Structure 1
Amino acid sequence: MAAAAVLLVAPAAVACGDDSGGGGDSDPPKPSAEKSTQEAPSDSEAPSDDATAPADPAAAEKQVKENWEKFFDPAVSLKEKETVLENGAKMRGVLKSFSGDERGKQVSADVGKVEFTSATEADVTYALMLKGATALPTASGTAVNEDDTWKVSVKTLCALVKLSGNESPGPGC
């Protein structure tokens, strides 16, 4: 089942690329590698509340979960998915490919945990479902706050695309 989930993003991989100039990695990334690299403050450095979490963490967590599940919902339109993906308009080609694939129409996500690493970023642990069956039970990604909306990060989508084995993702990744 995990292989089927990985294969579902293969068509999207054709439309996704690394505009950072990197692209020489031989090993595909692991979904759990998408955790934030931001260091946690030490006990002696008491951060202000807004440095480690949004002003209203409960409302932000609710929006992260809703938008994450909306992004992976096969019934949601491409236009609506763009609104819950970081740089959604720039990622339209990847979304079109991902949403147009038969397997992509059978995928959903169930968010298990949201941990805020800053006021504008969160680590998300989720289960990726294929036809209602769990394909990746503990996938990890990140959500970002862009224009006052919590969205699925581009690096999360790109990690899933790269996980499919495509060595040369297209623009946006």
Structure 2
Amino acid sequence: MVLRRRAAALAATAVLLLTPALAACSDDEPATGDRVTSTAPPGATDRPSGAAEPADPAAAEAEIARNWAAFFDADTPAAERVKLLENGEEMRDVLTAFAGNPQAAAIAAKVTGVAFTSATGADVTYDLLVGGNPLLPDSRGTSVLQDDTWKVSVKTLCGLVKLSGVTVEGC
């Protein structure tokens, strides 16, 4: 019973955190990529056999983990978050609203796996944490290499926004 209440509280927190971002979304461009799956079965991989990788996969994986942690860190300034999101300038209003929400201070992300789909794309498995506790463990998203930086994809951000149950123009 306690676990059920805790899960409901965490889900409500996610909705509260994402709702301000929904109101600010003004991107008229369609999101890149396909739909986001929020979880995957244990041990599953979408990596095609023989997929290309970046020249230095270990360095790219470390950068992805570092950038995802920074993107979801409340202490990261909005201007820096823009640089860590694919097409970040177009999503600036969403990021500003998200960063301005006091409840966003409790959100964090921890990358638990990276599978490169090309030299410029990767499937990312991560835990979305609230107050250090898993809210969405084993979540799935994507990262893209844009402007020589591995970034959280718009597809991933829009997938999280859609989890709140609201449709947003541009996502």
TM-score range, shorter chain: 0.7 to 0.9
Say whether 1:13 aligns with 2:33.
Answer: no
Change over 3 Å in CA distance of 1:141–1:29 after alignment to 2: closer
Counterpart in the other structure of 2:117: 117
Superposition RMSD in Å: 2.3
CA separation of 1:19 and 1:116: change in aligned 2, threshold 3 A: same
- Structure 1 residue identity aligned to 2:94: V
Q: Judge conservation of contact 1:15–1:170 (CA < 8 Å) in 2.
A: no
Identity among equivalent positions (%) equals 50
Structure 2 unaligned spans of 5+: 1-9, 41-45
Instruction: State the number of aligned residues.
Output: 153
**Letter matched to residue 38 of structure 2:** P
Structure 1 residues not aligned, in runs of 5+: 22-27, 42-46
The correspondence of residues 126-165 of structure 1 with structure 2, limited to 5 A, is 126-165=126-165
How far apart are the structure 2 equivalents of 1:88 and 1:20? 14
Q: Give me the TM-score of the superposition, normalised by structure 1.
A: 0.80
The ranges of structure 1 where at least 4 consecutive aligned residues each deviate by more than 3 angstroms after the TM superposition are 17-21
**Cα distance between partner residues in 2 of 1:84 and 1:39:** 23
TM-score (structure 2 length as normaliser) = 0.80
Change in 2 beyond 3 A, CA 1:60/1:85: same
Structure having the higher helix fraction is 2
Q: Aligned partners of 2:18 and 2:96: how far apart in 1?
A: 11
SS, match of residue 85 in structure 2: coil
Residue 47 of structure 2 contacts residue 116 of structure 2 at CA under 8 Å; is this kept in 1? no
